[in-house]
Chains A and B, each alone.
Chain A
Amino acid sequence: MIDRRIAIAVTILALLAVPYAITEVYYVNIASQILLYAIFALGLNVLVGYAGLVSLGHAGLFGVASYAVASLLAAGHGHAIAILAALAIGLVVTAGFAALSLRATGISFIMITLALGEILWGLAYRWISVTNGDNGVNVATRPMPFGIALTAARSFYDATLIVFLVAVAATAIFVRSPFGAALCGTRDQPRRMNALGYHVWMIRFGAFMFSGLLTSIAGILFVYYNQFISPQALQLNASAEALLMVISGGAGTLLGPVVGAGLVVIMKNVVSAYIERWNFMLGAIFVAIVVFMPEGLVPGAVRLSRSAWRAMSRAKTAVAPVAGRKP
């Protein structure tokens, strides 16, 4: 236990030291991006990893929060109101999203979330009087919590880091709570959980709301990071990128998505610097991961067959030490 605390403290110190170790603004910004996408991936992983529900519409929820902040600021509201209202709007939209998509599970769930996500994208793209269409919405300033300006890359990184650490802690508490255990139960044995008296739908709904909360927080950080939001952020590619973060890092592990976010963001920036074809790479990586190392990466597929289940438990022991290296 003491070892664990030391590991956590060392990691936090290391993360705090990042802007001092790499002074170039470009790299500090990439570190901020990794952290904010990690929050997004943590949120998606609650559904994909712990609830066994693969969503392909999360970029829509992410974008709703971003647009809410941008629109409220453009309407002349202050940062505090914009952020709180964006969280509230994000949660309301998440509730609607969840209520509809949880009519199904498994593959149909993917299809419904995909359709809902695309509809949100269509709204961002075409509802020009609110979203300014393809031109997007600019955000002139970043907030100043406690009088600290976040304009510099370094201070923005610090703020993102604080939010990130809170998000990781909250996720850890969430998945280790009795609710989290019940959630894993609904993933593995929904009918048995139902017979035991658990309200499977409510548990899934609660998980969806928590996932939506983290996703909205990431969306708010994203709009402040870029100081701009356009419909691109809601595209299917964005949902797929987030899913790639989750499954490449290891769905259903606490820190797998964080590692995955790091991998995907770094890869995206490196690839984009040399060749234009990030989308091709994204697709190719998806296919490669799924075809060549499907076991252990995708818990939903595991539910579908017992043999794959055994492969998963083998893979889990292989993945666990990697995830365990961080706190």
Chain B
Amino acid sequence: MTFWLLLTVNSVTFGGLLFLLSAGFSLIFGLMRIPNLTHGSMFMIGAYLGTTFLSGALGFTLNFWLAAIISALEVAVLGALMERLLLRRLAGQQLAQVLVTLGVSFMVADLCLMGWGGDPISVATPAGLGGFVRLGAAVFPLYRLAIIAIASVFAVALWLMLERTRLGAMIRAGVDDPQMARVVGIRVSQLFTVVFALGAALAAFAGMIGAPILSVYPGLDQDMLPLALVVVILGGTGSLIGSFVGSIIIGFIYNFGQALVPELAYFILFLPMVLVLVLRPQGLFGGQVL
């Protein structure tokens, strides 16, 4: 019983991380119509930058949360630059844009290998969250619960942003019909930069807060990107609720898979994907932003 409860908590935790990763991915896809193949790289750079801030290699040491936020902001700037300098040049050519993001992801992976070496870097659980919560017979690691809380806060905040703010309304309009949005005076290309930066920041933040659980290693990007892809294929592109539901489903399948059939954990991700592609190719929530 305890085993299953713990597994469930782990699944929701992982689902929360996946949500932070895939929400941005999905919004970028919804707006720009491209899968951002650097999204796994953003996750990895966020984690690597965060560990550098923690390690004191720069002559100062930051608190864990500050490190996560600053690395997220830095990666947001990188994302915005990439959108402005590379993707903007190829506006309207989706295939070329996808190939550019693919090329950049290889360059980033190699640069990270050069900069941080090939050994995995483990990150200590942030101060005050190393303990456990006792609920009856079951014992839950506090940090995992904290991740669930953080992911929930972000989910609500993103929902409010999309539902209630002017920016959110513009994003929804852009996802719905970019040409009409332009006609009514929304600067869609500016939205591209904003959403790209936001997605990059969310991915980087997820990378850092996931680091105490996943650790940071070369290839982390290639481990996370397919998960984001599967979440989005499952939930439907451009849909926040879709990426939320998709993340939880994949979180469960991946964790239960790893516990029960460790050798095939990656493979059984395939099953929900097959079902969705056969029965509902547009994804569970395809075509709905919220």
- Tell me whether A56 is interfacial, beta carbon within 8 Å: yes
Closest to A300 in B: B95
- Tell me whether A111 is interfacial, beta carbon within 8 Å: yes
Mark interface residues in B23-55 (1 if CB within 8 Å of A CB, else 0).
Answer: 000000000011101000000000000000000
A103 to B34, alpha carbons, bound, how many Å?
17
Residues of B at under 8 Å CB distance from A? 33-35, 37, 86, 89-90, 92-96, 98-100, 102-111, 114, 222, 225-226, 229-230, 232-233, 237, 262-267, 269-270, 273-274, 277-278, 281
CB pair B96 A298 closer than 8 Å: yes
CB pair B274 A100 closer than 8 Å: yes
Closest to A286 in B: B103
Residue contacts A-B, CB under 8 angstroms, 25 given: A106-B94, A108-B237, A110-B35, A110-B95, A110-B98, A111-B35, A111-B229, A111-B233, A112-B277, A115-B273, A118-B222, A123-B264, A128-B263, A235-B222, A237-B106, A243-B99, A279-B107, A279-B110, A280-B111, A282-B106, A283-B102, A283-B106, A286-B99, A290-B103, A298-B99
* Chain B residues closer than 8 Å to A104, beta-carbon distance: 281
CB pair A127 B267 closer than 8 Å: yes
* Chain B residues closer than 8 Å to A127, beta-carbon distance: 263-264, 267
CB pair A119 B267 closer than 8 Å: yes
Rounded to whole Å, the gap between the CB of B283 and the closest CB of chain A is 10
CB pair B267 A122 closer than 8 Å: yes
A266 to B202, alpha carbons, bound, how many Å?
40
Closest to B264 in A: A127
CB pair A290 B263 closer than 8 Å: no
Contacts across chains A and B counted by CB atoms under 8 Å = 138
CB pair A291 B90 closer than 8 Å: yes
* Chain A residues closer than 8 Å to B33, beta-carbon distance: 107
Q: Is the interface of B mostly helix, strand, loop or mixed?
A: helix
* Chain A residues closer than 8 Å to B102, beta-carbon distance: 56, 236, 240, 283, 286
- A40-63 contacts to B, CB under 8 A, are 54, 56
* Chain A residues closer than 8 Å to B86, beta-carbon distance: 287, 291
Closest to A279 in B: B110
Closest to B229 in A: A115
Q: Which listed residue (A125, A240, A279, A304) contacts B93, Cβ 8 A?
A: A304
Q: Is the interface of A mostly helix, strand, loop or mixed?
A: helix
* Chain B residues closer than 8 Å to A237, beta-carbon distance: 106
Residues of A at under 8 Å CB distance from B? 54, 56, 100, 103-104, 106-108, 110-112, 114-116, 118-119, 122-123, 125-129, 235-237, 240, 243, 247, 277, 279-280, 282-287, 290-291, 294, 298, 300-301, 304-305, 308
Given contacts A107-B34, A280-B111, contact A123 B267 (CB under 8 A): yes
CB pair A305 B92 closer than 8 Å: yes
Q: Which listed residue (A112, A126, A128, A291) contacts B266, Cβ 8 A?
A: A126
CB pair B262 A280 closer than 8 Å: no
CB pair B106 A304 closer than 8 Å: no
CB pair B278 A103 closer than 8 Å: yes
Rounded to whole Å, the gap between the CB of B235 and the closest CB of chain A is 13
A286 to B106, alpha carbons, bound, how many Å?
10
Q: A115-B273, A283-B105 are in contact. List 18 more A-B contacts (CB 8 A).
A: A103-B278, A107-B34, A107-B98, A108-B237, A114-B229, A115-B229, A116-B270, A118-B229, A119-B270, A126-B262, A126-B265, A282-B106, A287-B100, A290-B99, A291-B100, A294-B90, A301-B95, A304-B94
A100 to B232, alpha carbons, bound, how many Å?
15
Closest to B268 in A: A119
A100 to B270, alpha carbons, bound, how many Å?
11
* Chain B residues closer than 8 Å to A111, beta-carbon distance: 35, 229, 232-233
* Chain A residues closer than 8 Å to B225, beta-carbon distance: 118
A291 to B104, alpha carbons, bound, how many Å?
12
A300 to B98, alpha carbons, bound, how many Å?
11
Given contacts A122-B266, A127-B263, A127-B264, contact A112 B233 (CB under 8 A): yes
CB pair A119 B226 closer than 8 Å: yes
* Chain B residues closer than 8 Å to A125, beta-carbon distance: 266
A300 to B229, alpha carbons, bound, how many Å?
21
